[in-house]
Structure formats: C-alpha cells, structure tokens
Amino acid sequence: MKRTTGQNRDITREWRPATRAVRGGTWRSDWGETSEAIYVTSGYSYDDAETPAARFAGEQVGMTYSRTQNPSVQMLEERIALLEGAEACRVQASGMAAMTAAMLCQLSAGDHLVVARAAFGPTRWVTDNLLPRFGIEATAVDGRENEAWAAAIRPNTKVFFFETPANPTLDIIDIRGVCAIAKAHSITTVCDNAFATSALQRPLDLGADVVAYAATKLMEGQGRVLAGAVCGSADFINTKLLPFQRNTGPTLAPFNAWVVLKGLETMELRALKQAENALEVARFIEKRVPRTLFPGLPSHPQHNLAMSQMKMAGSIFSFEIAGGRKAAHALLNALELIDISNNVGDTKSLMTHPASTTHSSITPEVRAGMGVSEDMLRISVGLEDPADLIDDLDRALKTVGL
Ligand SMILES: *Cc1c(COP(=O)(O)O)cnc(C)c1O
C-alpha cells in the first residue's frame, strides 16, 4: 500500500479542501487502482510471528483485525480528518454508534453532561435513559441560550453535547459562545455536525473539541449505507475513543466505508447545490404556511447567528401547518414527487412528520419541550429541479387548504 503522492512527506495537509475531498486518504495497492479498493477481510496474515507481536505491542504500524482496523476504513478516516481539519478521526457503524461512543468513551459514573434539548430523538434517548442507568446525569437545556449552558454547569460537568442546526427544529447553537463557556470550565464540547457537514460549517475552527457525524446523511449523500464518524485531537481519539471502540465493537464494514469515501468526493458540490435548492423551496413554503423554520431565511430568529458560522444554511428545514397529525399526514399522502421518508441528506427530496417518526421514541412532554409539534413537517431537499419540488408542494398544500 502506498499513498498516491508525496514520496518524502505528507503533502495531504497542504492540499486545499476540494483536493482533500477526492484524494485525501487514498492508499493504492500494487495494482495501482485509481478508485480506492474495498478490502473485505476480517483478519490479516503475517510473514512471521514477530510481526503480529510488534503490532499488538504498538511498536509497528499495520493491520491486526478488522474490528480494530481495515485499509478501506482507514482511508475513509484519513479523508474525513483531512476535510474536517482534525488531527484524527474514527468511523463507526452508524451515526448513533458515533454519538454513543463520543459520549460514553469519556464519561464515568458520577459525571454530568449538558445536552441541547433540541436533538435527534435517539440522542436524547441516550442522554435521558441510557446514561442515567450508569450513574451519569444529564441536563437538557435550551441550547439557543448561552446563559442556560453556563447555568447548568456543576462541579462534575464533563461534556457539553449539541447539534446545530438541530433536528428537526433547526435551533442554532452559538458554537463560539458555548465552546468558550465550556473551555473556561475544562468541559469537552461535542458537536453533531450532520446537518451542515464540513462543507458548510467547521466546528473545530469555532472552538469545538469533538465533531461527531451521522455520515449516513450528506457525507454518504445518496441514501445507501449507514455510517458514523468522530473527529478530534489525536489525544482524544487515541486515548479516549479508540480503547472504547476497539473493545466494544461498533465497527464500520469496509464496503460501507468505501461508499462513504466515494460520497465525500462530491459532498461539497451536493451540500452547496442542495442548500441553494432548499432556500428556493423555503422561500415558496414561507408564503403558504403559518411558520417556517429555516435558518437561511431572515424570518428565522437566529438567521444572523447561523450566517456568522455557516457558509449556507443547509438543505433540511421544517415548517408547521395547521390541523395537527391528521393534516400533516394528509399533506404527505398528497405528494407525488417528494418521497415520504424519515431519512435526510439524500439527493432525492424526502419529507417526514417527526412527531410520529424520528421523534416518536421520546415522550410527548420532551417532544413539546423541544418544540416538535404535531403540526411540524420536515423536508430534506435534494438535487431535483426546485421548480418540480415547488409544483409538488403546491399541490400537496392545496389538499390541506393552504
Ligand atoms: C440521522 C442522524 C443521527 C443518527 O445517524 P444514524 O446513522 O441514523 O444512526 C444523529 N444525528 C443527527 C443530527 C442525524 O440526523
């Protein structure tokens, strides 16, 4: 295996982002393949007994077992780290495996975590149900209020966890402000950057310590496989995350790693174009419904903050209609082009009713506290012609009297 370029030094860190996206982490076998190879193997063989001994002792770099490392997976980790501007990255089998690992790898019984209340449903299940079972307390705050983060700090607070923009309410967290509060108290910040990706928002540059991803979404980009990623300092990844991951096994399969690796090559193009399409669709929807939650629109209360930390506001947004679950389902059922799907970040536009799908595993009270109402619909805008999406929405809105 060898890198495609840079015989005498690692030149990948000198490359600009677009170059990193298509060439970062490419290691070629002796066959000289242009597309990265998929190494479907669980184990590795050695020329002599001393080699595995040296590798297990950490004295020699090399593969030992695919729960710990695999060449296709390593290529993906290198590429993501390069795109994120992180010292290191490890990938996991899903976004939730990444979120769970990012929390559990650094928390112990007696510790306390603060989480922004608006978050992906399963993330709140982990903070509200799983962590307390192991003696880790979690406090959910209105993440939009910097003072709420500061007020929630206790002597045993170890982690701040937030998602921005948040799913599905599109709350924006002031990354610079919240990370500065954390830093002053030696608290580690973890930012779930799935909705924006490194193409639109760079949390590490804004002060975050750890960036976690559902790579399933825009990174993979075409709705094929699940994957997760955690990026941070080499120290955090190697001393905290890696021992947890190696021994608990949320490993990403080589084929899935390869799919995401190829997705990253077009991520920036897709993220920018889908964000542009989303803005066009949101401008149309805003005129027709009582409430539109899209940080890219000046009507969003945190529009200025969003634009100060994001290149564009992303491709996913929510809106509220009147008439609750019945009307929301009727609108979805009237769609002819946009798919009814609870996934996001696909090239195909997808729509869902969060209260009855992605956020159904949390209690109605927690849901209400987050701002996820029965009137809410979420759309993930893809790469179709936005005029066709608008035609489809126009028709569907009329069926519910809007
Ligand atoms: C989808 C998603 C996750 C979970 O990712 P999976 O790959 O489905 O496990 C976590 N956070 C956010 C913001 C997401 O959108």
Identify the band that residue 368 occupies on the pLDDT scale cut at 50, 70 and 90.
confident
Residue 22 belongs to some domain of the structure: no
Is ligand 1 within 6 A of the CB of residue 94?
yes
Is ligand 1 within 6 A of the CB of residue 69?
no
Residue given tokens 């045993």 in the structure block: 156
Provide the 8-state DSSP code for 233. Answer: -
Q: In whole angstroms, how far apart are CA 309 and each of 14, 152, 164, 191, 296?
A: 24, 24, 10, 13, 12
Q: Among 239, 263, 287, which residue terminates a domain?
A: 263
257 in the same domain as 116? yes
Comparison of pLDDT for 361 and 398, the residue scoring more: 398
Identify the band that residue 6 occupies on the pLDDT scale cut at 50, 70 and 90.
low
Q: Among 248, 263, 278, which residue terminates a domain?
A: 263
367 in the same domain as 231? no
Residue 159 belongs to some domain of the structure: yes
* Position 386 pLDDT exceeds 60: yes
**Stretch (H or E) spanning 318:** strand 316-320
Distance 97 CA to ligand 1 centre (A): 9
* Position 377 pLDDT exceeds 70: yes
For the chain, give the mean pLDDT. Answer: 96
Is ligand 1 within 6 A of the CB of residue 194?
yes
Q: For the segment 81-97, what is each residue's pLDDT rounded down to a tens digit?
A: 999 999 999 999 999 99
* Position 127 pLDDT exceeds 80: yes
* Position 367 pLDDT exceeds 90: no
* Mean predicted confidence (pLDDT) in 164-174: 95
Nearest CA to ligand 1 atom 7: 95
Residue given tokens 């599905």 in the structure block: 168
249 in the same domain as 229? yes
* Mean predicted confidence (pLDDT) in 53-57: 95
Mutate to test the pocket of ligand 1, among 167, 210, 219 (most ligand atoms within 8 A of CB): 167
**What is the structure's pLDDT at 1?**
67
pTM, rounded to two decimals: 0.96
Provide the 8-state DSSP code for 383. Answer: S
Is ligand 1 within 6 A of the CB of residue 197?
no
* Position 5 pLDDT exceeds 60: no
* Position 143 pLDDT exceeds 70: yes
283 in the same domain as 142? no
Identify the band that residue 230 occupies on the pLDDT scale cut at 50, 70 and 90.
very high
Residue 2 belongs to some domain of the structure: no
Structural domain containing residue 381: 267-399
Indicate if the alpha-carbon torsion angle 226, 196, 211, 102 is positive or negative: negative
**What is the structure's pLDDT at 361?**
80
Residue 31 belongs to some domain of the structure: no
258 in the same domain as 271? no
**What is the structure's pLDDT at 364?**
87
**Stretch (H or E) spanning 235:** helix 234-235
Q: Among 263, 291, 321, which residue terminates a domain?
A: 263
289 in the same domain as 168? no
* Mean predicted confidence (pLDDT) in 20-36: 94
**What is the structure's pLDDT at 366?**
82
88 in the same domain as 181? yes
* Mean predicted confidence (pLDDT) in 298-321: 97
Is ligand 1 within 6 A of the CB of residue 120?
yes
* Mean predicted confidence (pLDDT) in 26-38: 94
CATH number of 88's domain: 3.40.640.10
